[in-house]
Amino acid sequence: MIDQFVSPQDTYARLMSEASDSRRKRSLEAINEACRLLHERHSSDFSYKTIITLGKDRGLPVPGEKAIVNSTGAHYRELIQSWRLTSLPKASKTKADPNDWIDHIQDPVLRMSVRLLAKELRALKAKESRKAKHSGAPIILGSAALSALTTRALFNAAELAALKAAIDPASLGLVGLSIGSRGELMDVKGRAIHRPGFRDAIEKILAVQVE
């Protein structure tokens, strides 16, 4: 088997030129045509049985499975493997969902509660991003007074209440969540749902809110 990928067309042309008799050439031609049809159908099934069945249905002189798998059928297997490799599905470039871990929470009530919390936090982040984008005034992180004014501009009473509930032990306990020793949000099995510092980050936001 070749180490570097070569197109089925190039592989077929080389094997045909190396074939020493007309029978082998007819078999290679039949296998190549059957594989080409499978490729056009976007099939990923290039098993010997599928190729032979399709070839016979089309009246092609495909060799039997025994002729493909035995020691003298290496050229048939190489051609089939070349078509199989070129027909592999392309790797998806879709960006992974950062919250896909939520779907692996087994408890349905806990899973729904965490999903709602994550959705609420995403909405808050999106709103903060939009407002920060349209704000022309520079924000000096070292100024507590300016931070307080910024927090008031970013969050209303309902949003601040949601942030408080996100780290409130009583509220979290109702859905089987808790805060760990390093500020991480944990489920009933002690697995971290949000990283250490989650509670501290929210407390800093709430600390600069002017009541």
Angle 144-154/108-134 helices, nearest 10 degrees? 110
3-state secondary structure of 187: coil
pLDDT tens figures, 124-161: 878 877 777 766 555 455 555 445 444 444 667 777 77
pTM of full prediction above 0.85: no
pLDDT tens figures, 112-125: 777 778 787 888 87
What is the C-alpha separation between 16 and 150, in angstroms, rounded?
74
Sheet holding 178-179, edge to edge: 178-179, 185-186, 192-194
What is the C-alpha separation between 37 and 50, in angstroms, rounded?
11
95 in any annotated domain: no
Last residue of a domain, one of 62, 86, 110: 86
Q: Residue 80: which domain range?
A: 8-86
Last residue of a domain, one of 33, 59, 86: 86
How many domains does the chain divide into? Answer: 2
pLDDT of residue 31: 94
Residue 156 and residue 107 in one domain: yes
* Residue 33, token pair as written in the block: 């045509």
Using alpha carbons, select from 111, 89, 93, 90 the residue that is nearest to residue 102.
Answer: 111
Name 193's Cβ contacts closer than 8 Å, sequence gap at least 6.
101, 114, 177, 184, 185, 186, 187
